[in-house]
């Protein structure tokens, strides 16, 4: 197959952020397929237009389009639609048998639909977030007309898709709720890269870079400092851990619109550089040494049911490294952690109760060790990267065969 892959925020392991699309594309290339990735280069540069690189066999076309989570929602929307316009033109000139388009943003559907129509090839759409439900829920989309148009685009996108890949059962239910055929929705969650995270990592490398680390129990957060993440939650937890005279240390690593606010909030709470430390985001390939030193990782969301269906990379990275997880929301991930005893869930608890639960958990070395073992077993059983990327390939192959079969049947009917 020749796959045209649309992902506005594609990352390689040497970049900051999730690498699901890289893992999928690399696996497809390794299996003999051709992958052309259309994405954006988000760094500020003097260059304009499209650039090209080959990333481990993946043909990557980068549109120079600076972007940051610190941008206002209006500027983000402008970036989304600029990418949609330019990638629609670019994709039409690329050879391909099938399109694989991944959200967010939902606007990625616009070039995907256009290229599919222009080249008469099938499209598979991947739902990473339930757009527009999530931005509507957090107040990012308030205008009634924009809400209507966004929901219309969502429904039309599914209608034009040969198949839909959803990253969780909740997302699948959201797709089906629009009227889409349930038999054409495939749940393929994010991956646990066991090869990357299961290598032997000593905490010495982590320690050598951080003078403040003395080997005390470590709770980490690695990811976006955005509105939906609510990272200040751990600042409040740090404040109450101090009141408990706990020796637990918290490390926050990431970037995003609320990075500076979280830092100033930690200063205000008198925990910054005392029992809570904040660092800028790191490359994916540097993440294993952080998780190797951690006793507890965290996946945070603000208290909105629309966010409970998420499939955040940090969740699967922690499992792959055998690091127990702290979940502060509800939903399928919280249920899974409770059922498998792979960490702790603080949903419904006060900050004081949460801090006490975290302190008690990390003091119990045997419990931490058992939870670590359970986390790793969970990643192997349900989220192994090699197995799941193969499922994506099977969905693409199925979708292409379905389109070919329909065309063949139509031609037979025309001859009758």
Distance CA 167, CA 328 (A): 20
Residue 376 contacts by C-beta under 8 Å, 6 or more apart in sequence? 198, 319, 320, 321, 322
- Tell me, what's the pLDDT at 58? 98
* Peptide bond preceding 374 in cis form (omega within 30 of 0): no
- Tell me, what's the pLDDT at 45? 67
- Do residues 320 and 193 make contact, with C-beta atoms less than 8 angstroms apart? yes
Encode pLDDT of 366-395 as tens digits.
999 999 999 999 999 999 999 999 999 999
Could you tell me the residue ranges of all domains in the chain? 2-191+385-415, 194-382
Length of the chain: 416
Helix axes 351-363, 365-382, angle to 10 degrees: 100
The per-residue DSSP string of 50-118 comes to EEEEEETTEEEEEEE----TTS-HHHHHHHHHHHHHHHHHHHHTS--SEEEEEPSSGGGHHHHHHHHHH
Choice between 139 and 354, residue whose per-residue pLDDT is larger: 354
Helix axes 332-340, 365-382, angle to 10 degrees: 120
Position 414 confidence tier, pLDDT thresholds 50, 70, 90: low
Same-fold call for 2-191+385-415 versus 194-382: yes
Residue 104 contacts by C-beta under 8 Å, 6 or more apart in sequence? 128, 129, 131
Position 215 confidence tier, pLDDT thresholds 50, 70, 90: confident
Percent of the chain beyond pLDDT 90? 68
Q: How far apart are the first and last CA of the chain?
A: 31
- Tell me, what's the pLDDT at 193? 87
Encode pLDDT of 268-297 as tens digits.
999 999 999 999 998 888 899 999 999 999
DSSP state letter for 344: E
Average pLDDT, the chain: 91
User: Which tokens is 222 given?
Assistant: 């690695």
- Residue 196 in this model has a pLDDT that exceeds 90: no
- Residue 176 in this model has a pLDDT that exceeds 60: yes
pTM for the whole thing? 0.88
Encode pLDDT of 253-262 as tens digits.
998 889 999 9
Encode pLDDT of 3-54 as tens digits.
999 999 999 988 888 899 999 999 999 999 999 999 998 776 667 789 999 9
CATH superfamily ID and name for 2-191+385-415:
Glycogen Phosphorylase B; (3.40.50.2000)
- Tell me, what's the pLDDT at 194? 87
- Tell me, what's the pLDDT at 217? 96
Q: What 3-state class would DSSP assign to 282?
A: coil
- Tell me, what's the pLDDT at 175? 93
Q: Which residue has tokens 């994916």?
A: 284
Position 416 confidence tier, pLDDT thresholds 50, 70, 90: low
CATH superfamily ID and name for 194-382:
Glycogen Phosphorylase B; (3.40.50.2000)
- Tell me, what's the pLDDT at 334? 96
The candidate with the shortest Cα–Cα distance to 107, out of 156, 70, 58, is: 156
Encode pLDDT of 70-115 as tens digits.
667 777 778 888 999 999 999 999 999 999 999 878 899 999 999 9
Distance CA 111, CA 108 (A): 6
Helix (H) or strand (E) holding 324: none
**From residue 352, how far is each of 182, 273, 355, 356, 368 by CA, in Å?**
43, 21, 5, 6, 21
Encode pLDDT of 287-325 as tens digits.
999 999 999 999 999 998 888 888 888 999 999 999 999
- Kindly state the average pLDDT of the residues 331-349: 96
- Tell me, what's the pLDDT at 409? 72
User: Which tokens is 343 given?
Assistant: 């960490």
**From residue 101, how far is each of 26, 123, 138 by CA, in Å?**
16, 7, 24
- Kindly state the average pLDDT of the residues 241-253: 97
Encode pLDDT of 262-274 as tens digits.
999 999 999 999 9
- Tell me, what's the pLDDT at 208? 79
Percent of the chain beyond pLDDT 70? 96
- Tell me, what's the pLDDT at 79? 86
- Residue 230 in this model has a pLDDT that exceeds 60: yes
User: Which tokens is 109 given?
Assistant: 């559907």
């Amino acid at each position: 197959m020749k796959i045209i892959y649309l992902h506005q925020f594609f990352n390689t392991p040497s970049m900051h952020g999730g690498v699901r699309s890289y893992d999928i594309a690399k696996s497809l290339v390794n299996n003999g397929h051709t992958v052309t990735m259309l994405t954006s280069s988000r760094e500020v540069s003097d260059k304009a237009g499209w650039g090209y690189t080959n990333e481990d066999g993946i043909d990557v076309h980068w549109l120079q389009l600076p972007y940051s989570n610190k941008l206002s929602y209006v500027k983000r929307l402008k970036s989304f639609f600029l990418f949609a316009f330019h990638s629609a033109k670019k994709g039409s000139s690329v050879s391909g048998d099938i399109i694989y388009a991944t959200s967010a943003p939902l606007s990625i559907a616009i070039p995907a639909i256009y290229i599919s129509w222009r080249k008469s090839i099938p499209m598979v759409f991947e739902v990473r977030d339930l757009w527009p439900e999530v931005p509507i829920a957090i107040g990012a989309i308030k205008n009634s007309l924009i809400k209507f148009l966004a929901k219309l685009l969502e429904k039309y996108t599914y209608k034009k898709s040969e198949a839909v890949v959803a990253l969780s059962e909740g997302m699948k239910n959201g797709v089906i709720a629009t009227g889409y055929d349930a038999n054409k929705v495939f749940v393929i969650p994010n991956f646990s890269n066991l090869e990357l995270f299961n290598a032997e990592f000593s905490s010495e490398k982590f320690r050598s870079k951080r003078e403040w680390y003395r080997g005390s129990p470590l709770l980490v957060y690695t990811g976006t400092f955005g509105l939906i993440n609510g990272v200040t939650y751990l600042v409040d937890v740090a404040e109450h851990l101090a009141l408990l005279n706990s020796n637990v240390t918290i490390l926050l690593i990431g970037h995003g619109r609320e990075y500076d606010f979280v830092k100033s909030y930690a200063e205000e709470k008198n925990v910054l550089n005392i029992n809570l430390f904040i660092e800028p985001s790191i490359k994916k390939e540097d993440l294993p040494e952080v998780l190797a030193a951690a006793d507890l990782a965290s996946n945070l969301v603000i208290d909105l049911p629309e966010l409970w269906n998420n499939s955040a990379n940090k969740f699967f990275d922690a499992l792959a490294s055998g690091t127990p997880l702290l979940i502060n929301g509800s939903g399928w991930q919280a249920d899974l952690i409770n059922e498998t005893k792979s960490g702790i869930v603080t949903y419904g608890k006060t900050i004081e109760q949460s801090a006490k639960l975290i302190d008690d958990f990390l003091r119990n070395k045997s419990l931490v060790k058992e939870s670590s073992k359970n986390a790793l077993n969970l990643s192997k059983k349900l989220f192994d990267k090699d197995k799941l990327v193969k499922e994506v390939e099977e969905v693409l192959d199925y979708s292409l065969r379905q389109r070919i079969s329909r065309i063949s049947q139509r031609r037979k009917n025309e001859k009758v």
